[in-house]
Structure formats: C-alpha cells, structure tokens
Structure 1
Amino acid sequence: MYAHWETVPTRWKDNDVYGHMNNAVHYSLMDTVINTWLIRTAGLDIHEGDAIGLCVESHCVYKASISFPEAVRVGLRIGRLGRSSVRYELGLFREDGGTVVAEGHFVHVFVDRETRRPAEIPAPLRAAMEKLVIDE
C-alpha cells in the first residue's frame, strides 16, 4: 500500500542493449519521485533551506522487465520516520498497476546545509511526511 502515486514516462534512452529499462534508471525514477514530492508537496527548499536530505542508503529488487515506451506507476510511502532520517519505500509498477516491476527504498539523513551535521527534519516537512507513513 502506497500513499502517493506518480506516473513517469520512460524515455528512448532508458532502454539498454537488451531492450529493457537499464537498472540505473529504476534508481533514477525512485529518486525523482521522492524529490518531486519533497519539493512540490512537502515544501522542501532545495536552494535556500537550512536542512537538506542526503541519501545514505538505497536498495532495489527487480521483479519484471519494462521498456520504452511504457510508463511506470511509482508508489511512495514512508516506512520509518526518525528525528533526522526517513526511509522512503517505493514500488514501480506497469502503467496498469498490475505488475510489480521493482521495489526499493532510499534513506535520507537531513543535515545542516553548511555544517553537514545531522539536523532535525523541519516541522513543516515532518508534517507532510507523516501523511505518507504507512503501518503494515
């Protein structure tokens, strides 16, 4: 179960020589959906905000092949929300939502932009994140 969904088109260059989406593209799609949500919905200011999120861990399990010109439905939820860290969990599906293409996660640690020391997730950002927390 995912709390936020986005549909992302594949591009011609996403296919590798074997005719399916290259594994690096899966990570790029996950990173794009996370950061689009952070900026557009949660209000993260990537240019001037005091705190920034750094990826400290990522993982992907590949379940099925997909290729251009298919679109990918990406589901996003938060599996763990700490004081300064968050674990985003994502599912990549065929556009019809019936076939799981990949499942993965990213962990961001929020740090002070200048010192790069861990910082509390800002309150407005945390409030938005809490809406994506799914208890299974």
Structure 2
Amino acid sequence: MNAPAARPQALPRDHYRVFRAIGTRWMDNDIYGHVNNVVYYSWFDTAVNAWLIEQGALDIHAGAVIGLVIETQCNYFAPLAFPQTVEAGLRVAHLGKSSVRYEVGLFAQGDPSAAACGHFVHVYVDRETRRPVPLPDRLRETLQTLL
C-alpha cells in the first residue's frame, strides 16, 4: 500500500521571484463572504500574462505565438475577501521546449504565507495552426529570470 501524499502547505514569499498587486472587487465575494474559488484562477492568468506583456515577451494581439493553458491546480489555505489587496507571487518551476509550468502564490497584502498556492501550464502554439512551437528566444530569456 502506498503512503498517503504529503498534505500541501502554504508557501512563504521567498518562494516567488516577482509580485503583482491585484485589487479584489465587490463581485469577487461569494455568498459565503469570501472570494470564490474561480476568481483565483483569473488572478493566476492576470499575474502571468501581465508580467509577460510588461516584459515585452508576449504580444497578445499580433504575436505569432500564443500560450494555451493545458493544466491548472490550486490549494487554498486561508480566505481572501473584498476589499483586500492580493499580492500574486510568480515563479517558473519548469521550462520545456514549448511549455512552461508557472507557480503562483496568492497572499493577503503583507502576509508572510500564501492564502493559496497553485500552478498552471502554458503550451505555446502557433497562433494560426494551434500546434506547439518552440518558445521564442525573447520569451525563453524572460521566463528564465523566474526559474
């Protein structure tokens, strides 16, 4: 019989390379008084794509290469709620030929431990054919700073 998997743990800020502040919105809260779980995935997308765009590594309007999410996962440790500011920590856990595994930690502003930790995987594809392509040099160089 296999041993049970280790229970996920909230990670500290120093696990992540860059941070982005994200304001919660009134509509993010659900009937239970905290941010609904689906919003966390939107924050993952926001943190990663905004950083890539700001670094000049991704042109979402005219670039020949786009990233498609093929896997995502999140563990929740503490509630977040409007009107908090969330700080999304970002790092790259794996950099492949055409794919990237991002890890994202979501922190209440100033908190030392993540309220949620997760990941998602982008496969970069040709915009027209939607077939995987090697990461463009500029994108690869930018992502390497987050390893």
Give your verdict on TM over 0.5. Answer: yes
Task: Report the equivalent of 1:123.
Answer: 137
The one of 69, 76, 89 aligned to 1:55? 69
CA distance in 1, matches of 2:92, 2:23: 23
CA distance in 2, matches of 1:97, 1:124: 33
Q: CA deviation at 1:50?
A: 1.0
Q: Determine whether 1:71 maps to 2:85.
A: yes
Q: CA deviation at 1:98?
A: 2.2
Task: Report the equivalent of 1:46.
Answer: 60
Q: Secondary structure at the match of 1:100?
A: coil
Deviating 4+ runs (over 3 angstroms):
none
Q: Determine whether 1:112 maps to 2:133.
A: no
Gaps of 5+ in 1: none
| Alignment TM-score, normalising by the size of structure 1 | 0.95
CA distance in 2, matches of 1:112, 1:80: 21
CA deviation vs aligned residue, 1:76-111 (integer Å, no higher than 9, x gap): 000000010000001001101324210000100001
* Structure 1 residues 63 and 72: alpha-carbon distance in aligned structure 2, compared to 1, 3 A threshold: same
Q: Determine whether 1:35 maps to 2:49.
A: yes
Task: Report the equivalent of 1:95.
Answer: 109
The question of whether the paired residues in 2 share the 8 Å contact of 1:90 and 1:104 is answered with yes
| Alignment TM-score, normalising by the size of structure 2 | 0.88
Q: Secondary structure at the match of 1:129?
A: helix
The count of aligned residue pairs is 133
Q: Determine whether 1:84 maps to 2:98.
A: yes
Q: Determine whether 1:19 maps to 2:33.
A: yes
Gaps of 5+ in 2: 1-14
- Percent same amino acid at aligned positions? 52
Instruction: Name the Cα RMSD after superposition.
Output: 0.9
Larger radius of gyration: 2
